[in-house]
Structure 1
Amino acid sequence: MTEHETRDGWTRATEIVSVFLLSVMAVLTAWCGFESSKWGGEMSIAFSQASSARIQAASAEGEARSAQSFDLTIYAAYVEANGNGEEELAEYIRARFTPEFEVAYVEWVADGQVERSPFARDEYVPEGTREAEDLNARADAKFAEALENNQRGDNYSLLTVLFALVLFLTAMSQREIVTWMARTLLGLAVIAAIVGVVILSTFPIRI
C-alpha cells in the first residue's frame, strides 16, 4: 500500500469518526439539556411542596398553642375551684378537660404529682403537635430533595459543557491543519466523549 493510499485511508477513517462523534454528541448534548430542564422542574416542585408543608406546619403549631392555652385556662380554673373547696364546680370543670390533657392529668396524679404540673408530662401532647412535627419533617425532606434535584440538574448542565467541548475539538480537527495536530484533537475528542458517556450512564433519568 502506497503512502498516498495510507493517507487517504486515515483521512476517511478520521472523517467517519468525526461525523459519528458530531452526530452522537449533538444528540447527547440535547439530551443533557432536556434532563437538566426536567430536574430543574423537579427542584421547583419539591421547593414548592416544602414551602407548603412549612406553612401547614406553622398553622398546626398555632393550633397546638391555642389548645395548650385553653388547657392552661381550664386547669387554672380547676385548681382555683379545688382550692376554694368548690368540689361541684371543680368536677364540672374537670369534665371540660380536653382528652389530651386528661391523659396527662391522670398519669400525673397516679405518679404522685412529682412534676410541677400535668403540662410537664410526656403524655401531654396538645392537638396539632404531632401534625406539626410530621409536616415539619415532610418540609425538611422535600427541601433536601429539592437541593438534590438542583444538583442533578447542575450535573447535566456540566456534562453539556463537556459534550460541547467534544464538538469543538472534533470540528477543529476537521480544519486544514497539520495532520498530527488534527489527529491529536480528534483523539482528545474521543477520550472526552468516552468519559462523558461513562459519567452520563451513572446519572438518574427523569422523563
Structure 2
Amino acid sequence: MEDASSRPRWELLLALMMALAAVGTAWAGFQSAKWSGVQADSYAAAGAARAEAGQAATVASRQRTIDVVSFTAWLNALNAEIVANPAARPSGNYQPDPDQVSGFLFNRFRPDFRPAVGAWLATRPLLNPAAPATPFDMPEYRLAAEAASQELVEEAERQSATARAANQRSDNYVLTAVIFALVLLFAGLASKSRNRTTQNTLTGLALAALAGCVLTLAFFPVEV
C-alpha cells in the first residue's frame, strides 16, 4: 500500500520537477530564438561580405585589364622606337622620355603598377634571358582590390561558420526544450497514475530527463 505520509513529499517532488521543466523550456526557447538571430545576422553579414568581395574582384579585374592593355601599348611603342633607333634600347636604368610615345604611355601607368614595372626593368629584361617575361610575374605586382576581395571572401567564410555554429546551438536548445516537455509529460502522467509501479517508473524517467537537461544546459553557450 502507498504510504500516505510520503505522498505529499512525492507530489512536492513532482511539482518541483514540473516547475523546473517549465522554466527550462522557457529558457531553452529563449536561447534558441537568440541563436537563431545570431544565425540570421551572420548569414546576412556573410552575404554582404560576398557581395563586396564580388565588387572588389570586379575592380581588380578591371585594373588588371588596364595594366595589361597599357603595358602592351607601351611595349609596342618602345619596340617601334628601338627598331627606328637601336640606341633607344632600355636597360636597367630606363627613363621614360615624355617626347616619345613610350614615355607618354609609361608616365600614365597606374601608380600601383609602376613599382612592378620598375622592378621588372631592373632585371634588364631586354638583355637578360632569365628575367621574368612581364611585370605581372614580379612579386611587386599586387592589386589592392584583389587583396581586399580575398579578405572579404575569408570574412564571409568566417561569418558563415558562425552562422552554422549558431544554427546548431539553436537546434540543441530546441532539442532540450523537447526533452523538458517530456519531463512535464512524465511528471503529469505520474501524478494521475494510481499504480505505484507506474508512478515510480514515470517519476524516475522524469527525474532522469530533468537531470540530463539541467546538466546539458550548464555546458551550453549562452547568447545574451
Common topology (TM > 0.5): yes
- The corresponding residue for 1:35 is 31
Residue correspondence of structure 1 range 3-82 to structure 2 within 5 A: 7-82=3-78
Identity across the alignment (%): 29
C-alpha distance in 2, partners of 1:176/1:101? 84
Q: Unmatched 5+ residue regions in structure 2?
A: 83-96, 126-130
Matching residue's letter, 1:18? L
Name the structure where helix makes up a greater proportion of residues.
1
Alignment RMSD:
1.5
C-alpha distance in 2, partners of 1:126/1:97? 14
- The corresponding residue for 2:128 is none
The Cα of 1:205 is off from its aligned counterpart by 1.1
C-alpha distance in 2, partners of 1:76/1:180? 91
C-alpha distance in 2, partners of 1:149/1:53? 18
The answer on 1:171 being equivalent to 2:183 is no
TM (normalized to structure 2)? 0.86
Please say if residues 40 and 150 of structure 1, whose CA atoms lie closer than 8 Å, have aligned partners that are also in contact: yes
After TM superposition, what 4+ stretches of structure 1 lie above 4 angstroms from structure 2? none
Out of 76, 90, 102, the residue aligned to residue 102 of structure 2 is: 90
Q: How many residues align?
A: 203
Residue correspondence of structure 1 range 184-203 to structure 2 within 5 A: 184-203=201-220
The Cα of 1:112 is off from its aligned counterpart by 4.2
| Corresponding residue SS for 1:124 | coil
| Corresponding residue SS for 2:157 | helix
> Which shifted more, 87-96 or 189-198?
87-96
| Corresponding residue SS for 2:108 | coil
C-alpha distance in 1, partners of 2:79/2:71? 12
C-alpha distance in 2, partners of 1:131/1:191? 53
- The corresponding residue for 1:205 is 222
Matching residue's letter, 1:63? V
